[in-house]
Structure 1
């Protein structure tokens, strides 16, 4: 089959590659329709590695996917050929200690699409476990279905934050994940979400949603703005979603006594934290790695209309233009939130 293959750093090919398509009893075969380009895909393209995960051989990219079931294994009952679906891309060992604790995202043996050496889904057909494949309601498009994966990260962050209705939150970083976190926080009960960034175009997109207040932290004093919004009390929750090392400087000063900090973004280098500042407020610290047990709820929120992800889709490319799509993603244009690639029937 044809696939978008990362040959090595900064070298992509759209070419034929042999991929396994053996259907086991608990699997489904899926014709991929839409795939979103994630920051991790771009990072593998530009740097060839993320932490301990190093691209050492050609790898198919992509893990944010929707599609159509074309065949089911003999044990599958809840899906049938023709069903429109989205896919949770991490396959854990169901017998591991992490999985038995409900933390399957932390299973050391997890197999996650487009994480070396595992191939991703930018190819016309894939095999995947049926229990990680979710039927799309009729009112959810393939494009929205492919957005459930990044939205699940926001759902995980909000779940870890233990939002109380009426909370005020601050999200640092208005990239795709930052905005997903903000939308999940509103859906989870926050009355207001302040979102900060240094790119006005991204902030304008975030501020188009009711309940989100945007601030350019390069031009304005974020601490003073938080104080103004909270009568100098501080926000209930800070979500750090940028991963930029400088974002951690003074981060606990935005939080009210007894509040929460949730670290979502992954810094590319070690960062320093003012632990005393956290202790003086008894800040609860939570961290996020992907997601677990939230995919169905993320999909339900989109289907209900409570969360609208459509404004975050900046542009869609044809499968034949996948290389150009990644070249654009690597540019990091300020107005781009989510680029997608549509495979459709022509790719098959």
Structure 2
């Protein structure tokens, strides 16, 4: 099937053109008319760098993996979804017979096929086919725009699940980018009494500070350690520290700001080698968790949005029409400090 799509031809070259895409609906699949797609940092990184680690763009690839839409056709084995239903989609498709999938950690299945990760096409095209098992109905109270935000929010949910938080925990999030804010909101929904969010960019911190329970910390004016000492007491620290910046320079602060026997959750992915003081972590008996995407959290993420426990709408900075997709990506690549999430609508 030929379909119009936003295609990354190669590094720094995008086109909006027809491309051959799969059209075979399997018995366990659904066909979805795409409505809204969010632009993720990984999409932008593929555009600007042509690769992320071992994943290299070697041939034209459709971008986009944060999406919502409407079901237009269901496979013969699908009974829990119906035509006309509004949905969002979990973009990683594991091998259900893999050892990782059987353990419930399908996100780390080496065979996962993830939208817009070479060589797998993404969803910035009017129609996609997707497994029904990874397609989730949206309640009437959840908009298409919010539905397309479930994917990045799921990363925050995964981080909080891995943290094994307790009600009333004081948390720190390093990095006030889109994922850092998602982690902070998930931590509040998970029972945190307060979340300190650190960054260097005042515009990002101002957005974080709009939420009750989030305390922004501008580390260009005050050290994170000083802010944590003021909140938690000297020589103690936060119950959980989430590293969401990807900066290799924050790890000393991460260690220093975690209380003895507290938890560190590594969410951001550094692009440079990191120096990590293992002895200091051992001396505090810190528990260190890592996050790679998410598993088994989509339904709970949707429920939190539907219940009004988490409001993602303030994080949507601007919405573009499908025909403006290239402009939207150029805007995202410019990294304006007041932008959190840019979205593209295909079925306005």
Task: Provide TM-score, normalisation by structure 1.
Answer: 0.98
Inter-partner Cα distance in structure 2 for 1:170 and 1:87: 30
Query: What is the match of residue 46 of structure 1?
Result: 48
Inter-partner Cα distance in structure 2 for 1:215 and 1:116: 37
Query: Pick from 117, 129, 132: which aligns with 1:127?
Result: 129
Query: What is the match of residue 220 of structure 1?
Result: 222
- Residue 245 of structure 1: how far off its partner (Å): 1.1
Query: Pick from 75, 78, 93: which aligns with 1:76?
Result: 78
Query: Pick from 244, 247, 259: which aligns with 1:244?
Result: 247
Query: What is the match of residue 331 of structure 1?
Result: 334
Inter-partner Cα distance in structure 2 for 1:163 and 1:129: 32
Q: Secondary structure at the match of 2:22?
A: coil
Inter-partner Cα distance in structure 1 for 2:252 and 2:8: 35
1:253 paired with 2:252, answer no
Query: What is the match of residue 286 of structure 1?
Result: 289
Query: What is the match of residue 169 of structure 1?
Result: 171
Query: What is the match of residue 111 of structure 2?
Result: 109
- Residue by residue over 1:228-253, the C-alpha shift from the partner in whole angstroms, topping out at 9 and shown as x without a partner, is 01122200000000101111234211
Inter-partner Cα distance in structure 2 for 1:331 and 1:75: 45
CA contact (8 A) 1:169 1:238 kept: yes
CA contact (8 A) 2:32 2:73 kept: yes
Task: Provide TM-score, normalisation by structure 2.
Answer: 0.98
Q: Secondary structure at the match of 1:299?
A: helix
Inter-partner Cα distance in structure 1 for 2:233 and 2:276: 25
Query: What is the match of residue 18 of structure 1?
Result: 20
Following TM superposition, where does structure 1 have runs of at least 4 consecutive aligned residues deviating by more than 3 angstroms? none
Which sections of structure 2, spanning at least 5 residues, go unmatched? none
Query: Pick from 93, 97, 104: which aligns with 1:91?
Result: 93
Alignment root-mean-square deviation, CA: 0.6
1:303 paired with 2:306, answer yes
Inter-partner Cα distance in structure 2 for 1:13 and 1:277: 50
Aligned length: 345
- Residue by residue over 1:156-191, the C-alpha shift from the partner in whole angstroms, topping out at 9 and shown as x without a partner, is 000000010000000000000000000000000000
Note the 1:140-219 alignment, pairs <5 A.
Answer: 140-219=142-221
Which sections of structure 1, spanning at least 5 residues, go unmatched? none
Inter-partner Cα distance in structure 2 for 1:219 and 1:271: 24
Inter-partner Cα distance in structure 2 for 1:262 and 1:151: 16
Inter-partner Cα distance in structure 2 for 1:25 and 1:50: 33
Q: Secondary structure at the match of 1:269?
A: coil
CA contact (8 A) 2:225 2:253 kept: no
CA contact (8 A) 2:224 2:253 kept: no
CA contact (8 A) 1:250 1:274 kept: no
Query: Pick from 211, 235, 238: which aligns with 2:238?
Result: 235
Inter-partner Cα distance in structure 2 for 1:177 and 1:250: 19
Query: Pick from 254, 268, 273: which aligns with 1:270?
Result: 273
